[in-house]
């Protein structure tokens, strides 16, 4: 019926159709994820296979993105490098979200000395530049992919904690929480059954943007030689190899650099689209 007010779902769909950048970001993110998952099928060669007679060959029919100084196919290493970058991004963000959501819920719901203790700890962590803190920790540990994921996750949860705390402070005063208390629900049931589900929308946005940040951090660490260990392919250490041969092999730097740029930009576009989507004023 024409007079029937559009449902919230219909308004959301209408808003999404008006945001082409959101769809562009989603399309690229999905494409990169599929390329990473099906890397063994899509890669024309083993990423570590050396074609000794084809060192530093420019893009051609045999090697679409050329070869590096050891004769390894750049396209194959790009596919497997996407696996490393996305794996680091998703695991690191999962760790940071788990810590940030837990501490933010506790601080916002119980308040008092618990809130003061948690937020002062957040303030202390924010005093240290995250990247230099990661560099300091990595210097004392092995430069393995597992350590990189854990370190990034343990040093990037503060923003999520503050975001969830703010949402929890607002939600704990709502009518449905008061109704749950009157119904005899305990604090933990209210926290995880009623408040947590309603606080997840901004966390999803923060997580999407966090993946982009984690990919950049991993790439920077690998570029500096303290990230993913060679010969494992990652976009960061591919950039390092390209820097050493910049004058004679432009493709070694251009293609990994473009992959990082496009992937990070796509996650940022996706995150901004989700932020607009969950904004009540936007829909």
Q: What is the widest separation between alpha-carbon atoms in the chain?
A: 77
3-state class of 185 per DSSP?
coil
Positive or negative torsion for Cα 44, 49, 52, 56: positive
* pLDDT tens-digit readout, 168-184: 888 887 887 778 777 77
40: in domain: no
Domain count, the chain: 1
* pLDDT tens-digit readout, 266-278: 999 888 888 777 7
10: in domain: no
pLDDT-derived band at 8 (thresholds 50, 70, 90) equals: low
Burial degree of 123 (CB within 10 A; 0-12, 13-18, 19+): exposed
* pLDDT tens-digit readout, 30-87: 999 999 999 999 999 998 889 888 888 899 888 999 898 888 999 999 999 998 888 8
CATH number, domain containing residue 231:
1.10.3720.10
Range of the domain at 114: 19-35+68-278
C-alpha to C-alpha distance for 152 and 133, rounded to whole angstroms: 10
Please give the C-alpha separations between residue 211 and each of 82, 92, 175, 214, 270, in angstroms, as whole numbers.
Answer: 13, 8, 35, 5, 11
Are 212 and 272 in contact by the 8 Å Cβ rule? The answer is: no
- Residue 279 is predicted with a pLDDT of 62
First CA to last CA across the chain, in angstroms?
21
55: in domain: no
186: in domain: yes
212: in domain: yes
C-alpha to C-alpha distance for 99 and 37, rounded to whole angstroms: 27
């Amino acid at each position: 019926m024409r007079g029937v007010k559009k449902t919230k779902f219909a308004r959301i769909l209408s808003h999404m159709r008006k945001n082409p950048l959101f769809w562009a970001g989603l399309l690229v993110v999905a494409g990169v994820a599929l390329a990473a998952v099906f890397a063994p099928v899509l890669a024309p060669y083993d990423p570590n296979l050396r074609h000794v007679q084809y060192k530093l060959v420019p893009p051609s029919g045999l090697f679409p993105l050329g070869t590096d100084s050891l004769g390894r196919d750049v396209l194959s290493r790009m596919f497997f490098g996407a696996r490393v970058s996305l794996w680091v991004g998703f695991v690191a963000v999962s760790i940071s979200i788990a810590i940030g959501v837990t501490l933010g819920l506790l601080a916002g719901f119980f308040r008092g000395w618990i809130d003061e203790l948690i937020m002062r700890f957040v303030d202390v962590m924010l005093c240290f530049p995250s990247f230099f803190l990661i560099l300091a920790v990595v210097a004392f540990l092995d430069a393995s992919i597992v350590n990189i994921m854990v370190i990034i996750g343990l040093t990037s949860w503060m923003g999520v904690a503050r975001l969830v705390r703010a949402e929890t402070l607002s939600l704990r005063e709502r009518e449905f929480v008061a109704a749950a208390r009157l119904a005899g629900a305990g604090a933990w049931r209210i926290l995880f059954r009623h408040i947590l589900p309603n606080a997840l929308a901004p966390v999803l946005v923060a997580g999407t943007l966090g993946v982009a940040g984690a990919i950049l951090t991993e790439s920077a660490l690998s570029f500096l030689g303290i990230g993913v260990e060679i010969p494992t392919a990652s976009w960061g250490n591919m950039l390092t190899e390209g820097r050493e041969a910049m004058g004679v092999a432009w493709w070694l730097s251009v293609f990994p650099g473009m992959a990082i740029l496009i992937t990070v930009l796509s996650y940022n576009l996706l995150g901004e689209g989700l932020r607009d989507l969950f904004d009540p004023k936007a829909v």
